[in-house]
Every structure is written in C-alpha cells, then in structure tokens.
Structure 1
Amino acid sequence: MPLPSPEPLSDAQQRGAACVWCAAPLGTDLGVDLGEQRVTPATGAAYAWFPRECVDALACSGRRAAR
C-alpha cells in the first residue's frame, strides 16, 4: 500500500513516534520502520520524514476504521 502524503499527518507520525496509518503511539522498539522518505514540495525546501507502522496490522486497521 502506498504511503500517505506527509502534509496532513501529525509531527509524531512524520517522525515515526506514531503509526502512519492509525496514529497509535509507537515506542522505540515497537513498529515497523518504513524507511526514510524524501519530499520535495511545490514551494519550500525539501525534507525527509520517517514513517513507521504498527506491528499488528489487524489492530491497526481496526483503530483506523474507528477514526
């Protein structure tokens, strides 16, 4: 599944402290690292963001549906 655009995500989601899909907090040893992502916006400077996702995909999808 392609990653969402980082613009509407919270700071915690952009830096990997929360799941990119459901926004659940992720501890330092929790979550799946989705790799450094580069963004070049139409205006402004390019930047990197560091998405992570929940290990438990079923629980994650349930939280995402509840939002």
Structure 2
Amino acid sequence: MSEQQQRGWNCVWCAGWLPAGLSADLGQQRVIPETGASYLWFPRECLDTAACSERAAQ
C-alpha cells in the first residue's frame, strides 16, 4: 500500500485520488507490529463504488 493510500489521499482499493468531500472515511486504524513501533493510518475509499471496482480491476 502506498503512502498516499495510508494517509487517506488515495483510495485504499483502487489507489485513485480522492478530492475533498468525495470519499468515505474508514476511520483511524492503529497497527501494532510484532517488532518495531506502532503507527496510525487513515484509510478512505471512493464514494462511487462501481467506478472504484473498475479502476481496481485494471
């Protein structure tokens, strides 16, 4: 997953750019790896699920 997807700039499913107000916030997520420090990421997804599915399939 790219940094842009982890920061909520791009869709977590299709990696498409997400303009302000045109995405669904999936909530702050906390990752606690077995080794290393824990971190937060902020996934968002496209509102247009049909177009998102098409982009993800490419």
TM-score band by shorter chain is over 0.9
| Deviates further, 13-22 or 40-49 | 40-49
Detail structure 1 runs of 4+ shifted over 6 Å in the superposition: none
Unaligned runs of 5+ in 1: 1-8
CA distance in 1, matches of 2:23, 2:15: 12
Count of equivalent residues: 58
Unaligned runs of 5+ in 2: none
Give the structure-2-normalised TM-score. Answer: 0.95
Higher relative contact order (CA 8 A, sep 6+): 2
Structural mapping, 1:1-67, within 5 Å:
9-66=1-58
Identity %: 60
Higher strand share: 2
Two-structure CA RMSD over aligned residues (Å): 0.6
